[in-house]
Every structure is written in structure tokens, then in C-alpha cells.
């Protein structure tokens, strides 16, 4: 869908959805040069947003509290193993395996996130621990089918601290704040 069609749809509906906004951004980022019609459509969109004729629907911010809890558990177990052996483990692989076997705990507010954390610690901590241990066992027992595989990342950090830092930044941006408030 082109910029002009997106703007036309936004005018008709009276709002600009996050997916419409993302599509306009993608077009602008990938196009080497926009046409005059596209510039006119963007100008019209800006005018309508400023006058309130079109309302931008805000993106809903949410987190999956289970990711924080699984990462914390995985980090603890991986650190224990790596300190007592020569084995090197990938926290991302372990967390992904465990997360695929646990229920998500989404929250849109700090209060909701705190509720989900408390609920998970009371009701799900044992299951989280079990799934992380199973993930580690599977990781240690996996064959080397594709040694050339690369992680979903633009960085190739082999340093565990860098991996953990990167994972926390990506999946739990408020992790350090949340842990310090406990």
C-alpha cells in the first residue's frame, strides 16, 4: 500500500494506526526518492494530524513479565554452571526454550507488571525453575547440526556479560530498576 492510499484511508477513518505509521516509515526508509504525490500526501497527513482531523492511535506499550523472570532464573543457573565447569551456555537459547513452555504474563502498567511478578513468584516459580533446568539439559544434550548458525542479532558477542546485557536491554529494559526495588 502506498503513502497516498494510507493517507486516504486515515482520512476516511479519522485515525492513523501504528501499522499505518510503520508502513509509511518503511516506505520512506526504503525509497531512494519520494514522488511529488507522496510528499503532498505526507504534507496532508501532517496538516490533518495537527488540526485533529486525523488522530494518531498510540502504540500500546506492554511487557511480558515472564521474560524477566525466566531471564533472571536462566542467568542464575547458567552462572552456577559456568563457574563450576568449562561449559559455555547461551542464555538466549535457554530462555527461549523455557519461554516457549511457559504462559506469557503481559502487563501494560507498572501496577500490572508488579501484580504479574508477585503472582508468578507465588504460583509459577517452581514451574519456571523446572523449565529453565530442562532448557539447560536440552542445551547441553543438543547435537551440533548447524554449527554455522548465527543468533538473531547484529552483534557477535561471545562474552556472557555482553550477551546478558544485550538480552536485558532488548527484553527487559526496566529489569535493573525492577530488581533493585525488591
Share of the chain above pLDDT 70, in %: 79
Q: Which residues contact 168 (CB under 8 A, 6 or more apart)?
A: 71, 175, 176
Position with higher pLDDT, 69 vs 148: 69
* Residue length of the chain: 182
- 98 with 30, same domain: the answer is no
- pTM (two decimals): 0.54
- For the chain, how many structural domains are there in total? 2
Contact present, 164 and 75 (Cβ < 8 Å): yes
Q: Which of 165, 169, 62 is nearest to 116 (CA)?
A: 62
- 42 with 77, same domain: the answer is no
- 92 with 166, same domain: the answer is yes
Domain that holds residue 36: 3-56
Position with higher pLDDT, 153 vs 45: 45
| pLDDT bracket for residue 114 (50, 70, 90) | very high
- 102 with 166, same domain: the answer is yes
| pLDDT bracket for residue 44 (50, 70, 90) | very high
- 90 with 126, same domain: the answer is yes
- Mean pLDDT for all residues in the chain: 84
CB atoms < 10 A from the CB of 1, how many?
11
- 47 with 75, same domain: the answer is no
Amino acid at each position: 500500500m502506498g503513502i497516498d492510499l494510507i493517507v486516504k484511508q486515515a482520512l476516511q477513518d479519522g485515525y492513523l494506526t501504528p501499522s499505518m505509521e510503520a508502513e509509511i516509515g518503511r516506505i520512506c526508509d526504503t525509497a531512494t526518492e519520494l514522488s511529488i504525490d507522496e510528499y503532498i500526501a505526507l504534507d496532508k497527513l501532517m496538516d490533518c494530524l495537527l488540526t485533529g482531523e486525523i488522530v494518531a492511535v498510540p502504540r500500546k506499550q506492554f511487557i511480558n513479565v515472564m521474560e524477566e523472570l525466566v531471564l533472571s532464573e536462566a542467568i542464575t543457573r547458567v552462572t552456577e554452571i559456568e563457574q563450576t565447569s568449562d561449559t559455555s551456555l547461551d542464555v538466549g537459547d535457554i530462555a527461549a526454550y523455557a519461554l516457549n513452555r511457559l504462559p506469557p504474563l503481559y502487563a501494560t502498567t507498572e501496577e500490572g507488571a508488579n501484580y504479574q511478578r508477585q503472582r508468578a513468584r507465588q504460583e509459577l516459580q517452581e514451574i519456571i525453575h523446572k523449565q529453565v533446568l530442562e532448557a539447560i539439559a536440552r542445551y547441553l544434550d543438543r547435537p551440533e547440526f548447524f554449527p554455522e548458525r548465527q543468533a538473531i542479532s547484529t552483534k557477535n558477542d561471545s562474552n556472557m556479560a555482553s550477551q546478558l546485557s544485550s538480552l536485558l536491554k532488548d527484553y527487559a529494559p526496566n529489569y535493573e530498576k525492577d530488581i533493585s526495588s525488591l
